[in-house]
């Protein structure tokens, strides 16, 4: 007998009855839980990928994912997004430029019958470990360099802006931080890559941004570095550690990679020249 499919209620959070055990006591209560649902990305009627994500800021996610994965060359290549709620998840129907869609179809055709490496649908190691070109609008630091004081201040400020995390304790955040340590824009998701895609998508909708950097509440994996660099951003600050591959790619991309950001300390892994003392 096949199991029934789990149905999605359309919300980013839900309330669930739980039993809490603490200090020898037992308490029945209701907890607020972050939702994680399948999100299908459909380009000009053709399904390309299904991601598990928090169902909010989905138009930002659609644009950011499409840009950082190289499906679109520029925000103007996306003509529209239709969000379609379904019983088991959400379909994002993207209307994209013909040239971008043709390139996507060629990539899908070349993957047919091949054994992939398992990274972002790539069919070869060379394609999986692509070095970003930073073709998107530059949103990196300019004349004002980021200081250590700003990094530590940003760590404190981002926590005050994480509404989903405060409610559920289950989400990551990616934020655009200005050179004074202020949070100008923040996106949250159960997945760290999704949160970054949402942030980049939101930033791509407008070109009016102050100098600054990206702060993520997660570790800094290769994909986080790749997505940041592809957006033309030259500083990524992570609250947790980077991977060795992330450091090597950051070096090649001229990206300053900072890890273990705390209220009074941080570690710089690549290109410290973009930071001030």
Q: Is the pLDDT of residue 122 over 60?
A: no
Residue in the block written with tokens 């609250």:
239
- 259 and 164 fall within a common domain: yes
Lowest mean pLDDT among 26-30, 118-122, 159-163: 118-122
Cα–Cα separations (whole angstroms), residue 136 to 76, 99, 197, 235: 11, 17, 13, 15
pLDDT confidence of residue 115: 37
Q: What is the mean pLDDT of the chain?
A: 88
pLDDT band at residue 169 under the 50/70/90 scheme: very high
Catalytic residues, which ones? 117
> Are 124 and 155 part of one and the same domain?
no
Once rounded to an integer, what is the mean pLDDT over residues 195-218? 92
For 146-205, the DSSP string reads EEHHHHHHHHHHHHHH-HHHHHHS--EEEEEEETTS-EEEEEEESSHHHHHHHHHHHHHT
Residue with the larger pLDDT of the pair 130 and 148 = 148
Cβ 95 vs Cβ 79: under 8 Å = yes
Task: Check which CATH number belongs to the domain holding 119 and give it.
Answer: 3.10.20.10
pLDDT given at position 209: 78
Q: Above 90 in pLDDT, residue 52?
A: yes
Split into its structural domains, the chain has a count of: 2
Q: What is the pLDDT of residue 210?
A: 83
Within this chain, do residues 106 and 71 fall inside the same structural domain, yes or no? Answer: yes
Going by C-beta distance under 8 Å and a sequence separation of 6 or more, which residues neighbour residue 87? 5, 7, 8
Q: What is the pLDDT of residues 178-194, one digit of tens each?
A: 999 999 999 999 999 99
- What mean pLDDT do residues 36-58 have? 96
112 and 191 inside one domain: no
Residue 161, domain member (yes or no):
yes
| Degrees to nearest 5, angle at CA 240 with 116 and 140 | 80
**Which residues constitute the domain of residue 115?**
37-128
Per-residue confidence (pLDDT) for residue 24, from 0 to 100: 87
Q: Of the candidates 73, 95, 128, which is a domain's last residue?
A: 128
C-alpha–C-alpha distance, residues 55 and 190, integer Å:
10
Domain boundary among the residues 75, 95, 128 is at 128
Q: How many Å apart are CA 22 and CA 273, to the nearest integer? A: 49
At 137, is the pLDDT very low, low, confident or very high (cuts 50, 70, 90)? low
Percent of all residues in the chain with a pLDDT value above 90, rounded to a whole number = 75
Q: Decide if 192 is inside a domain.
A: yes
Can you give the CATH number for the domain in which 160 is found? 3.40.140.10
R_g of the chain computed on alpha carbons? 20
The pTM of the whole model exceeds 0.85? yes
Whether residue 183 sits in one domain with residue 79? no
């Amino acid at each position: 007998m096949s199991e029934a499919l789990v149905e999605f209620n359309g919300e980013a959070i839900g309330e669930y009855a739980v039993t809490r055990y603490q200090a020898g006591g037992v308490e029945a209560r209701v907890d607020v839980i972050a939702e994680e649902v399948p999100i299908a990305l459909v380009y000009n009627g053709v399904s390309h990928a299904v991601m598990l994500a928090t169902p909010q800021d989905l138009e930002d996610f659609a644009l950011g994912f499409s840009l950082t994965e190289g499906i679109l060359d520029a925000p103007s290549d996306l003509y529209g997004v239709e969000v379609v709620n379904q019983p088991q998840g959400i379909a994002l129907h993207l209307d994209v430029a013909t040239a971008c869609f043709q390139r996507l179809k060629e990539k899908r055709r070349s993957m047919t019958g091949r054994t992939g490496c398992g990274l972002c649908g790539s069919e070869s190691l060379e394609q999986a470990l692509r070095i970003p070109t930073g073709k998107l609008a530059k949103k990196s630091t300019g004349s004002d360099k980021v200081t250590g004081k700003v990094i530590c201040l940003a760590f404190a400020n981002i926590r005050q802006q994480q509404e989903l995390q405060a409610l559920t304790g289950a989400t990551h955040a990616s934020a655009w931080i200005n050179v004074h340590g202020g949070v100008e824009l923040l996106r949250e998701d159960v997945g760290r890559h999704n949160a970054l895609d949402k942030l980049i998508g939101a930033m791509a909708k407008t070109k009016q941004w102050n100098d600054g950097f990206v702060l993520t509440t997660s570790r800094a994996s290769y994909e986080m570095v790749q997505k940041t660099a592809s957006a033309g951003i030259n500083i990524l600050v992570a609250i947790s550690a980077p991977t060795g591959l992330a450091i090597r790619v950051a070096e090649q991309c001229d990206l300053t990679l900072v890890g273990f950001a705390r209220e009074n300390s941080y570690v710089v892994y690549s290109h410290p020249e973009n930071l001030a003392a």
